[in-house]
Amino acid sequence: MAVREILIAPDPRLREVSKSVVKVDDALRTIMDDMLETMYAAPGIGLAAIQIGIPLRVIVIDLARDDEDPQPSFFVNPEIHNPSEESGLYEEGCLSVPDYYEDVERPTACTVRYLDYQGNAQSLEAEGLLATCIQHEMDHLEGVLFIDHLSRLKRDRILRKLKKDQRLAAAE
Ligand code: NI
């Protein structure tokens, strides 16, 4: 396993629409292992493959607390079904938008159909933080970031600051 570099907004690759995985094989499992290690190292609770520059429909999530054993979940070609009519606010952050946290409104529950680490078809009823996290990561597969759910003013301000931070970092 290896820790990969995480792309930071406004990197244009984060706007790519990811492609469906044709086969869950060892090559894909290597990518999933690297995604997990990269996410743990960050640290974060969710990561989409495009965040390490791989435009495939794969996400990893682990919502275990620090005092719990790791509970990694891998979602290949995930699809959301039956989003709840009820929606709620969660304060979201993103490893590709470091240091910014904002409330985002999303359906509070949904069904997710996907292939797991072994390539087996699975279905999961998600609610609360898990539902939020899955929807956030699935946005990445469409080239969407959580800041796209904010007002244009807020989003542009965050993107400007991120750009400036990167210029400063590059100049050091
Ligand atoms: Ni994210």
How many Å lie between the centroid of ligand 1 and the Cα of residue 90? 13
Q: Does position 170 have pLDDT exceeding 90, yes or no?
A: no
Segment 51-95, tens digit of pLDDT: 999 999 999 999 998 899 999 999 999 999 999 999 999 999 999
How confident is the model at residue 23, as a pLDDT?
Answer: 97
Q: Does position 128 have pLDDT exceeding 90, yes or no?
A: yes
- How many C-beta atoms surround the C-beta of residue 31 within 10 A? 18
How many Å lie between the centroid of ligand 1 and the Cα of residue 148? 11
Q: Is 147 left (phi over 0), alpha (psi -120 to 50) or beta?
A: alpha
Element containing residue 139 per DSSP (H, E): helix 128-141
Distance, CA of 67 to chain centre = 23
The reply to whether 86 belongs to the active site is no
DSSP 61-76: E----TTS----EEEE
How confident is the model at residue 94, as a pLDDT?
Answer: 98
Q: Does position 105 have pLDDT exceeding 90, yes or no?
A: yes
Confidence at 169, pLDDT banded by 50, 70, 90: confident
Domains of the chain: 12-171 (3.90.45.10)
- What average pLDDT is seen over the chain? 96
Phi, psi for residue 109 in degrees, rounded to 5? -150, 155
Three-state DSSP class for residue 127: strand
- Greatest Cα pair distance, the chain, in angstroms, is 49
Distance, CA of 31 to chain centre = 15
Report pTM. Answer: 0.95
Which range is least confidently modeled, 4-8, 128-132, 164-168? Answer: 164-168
How many Å lie between the centroid of ligand 1 and the Cα of residue 91? 12
Q: What distances in angstroms separate CA 109 from CA 15, 76, 81, 163, one per listed residue?
A: 26, 19, 10, 34
Which of the following is catalytic: 85, 91, 137, 142? Answer: 137
How many Å lie between the centroid of ligand 1 and the Cα of residue 139? 8
Contact between 145 and 97 under an 8 Å Cβ cutoff? The reply is yes
Query: What tokens were used for 57?
Result: 């429909």
Q: Does position 1 have pLDDT exceeding 90, yes or no?
A: no
CA distance 162 to 22: 35
How confident is the model at residue 2, as a pLDDT?
Answer: 93
Q: Angle 112-142-16 (CA atoms, 0-180°, nearest 5)? A: 145
Q: Which residues pair with 46 in a beta bridge?
A: 61
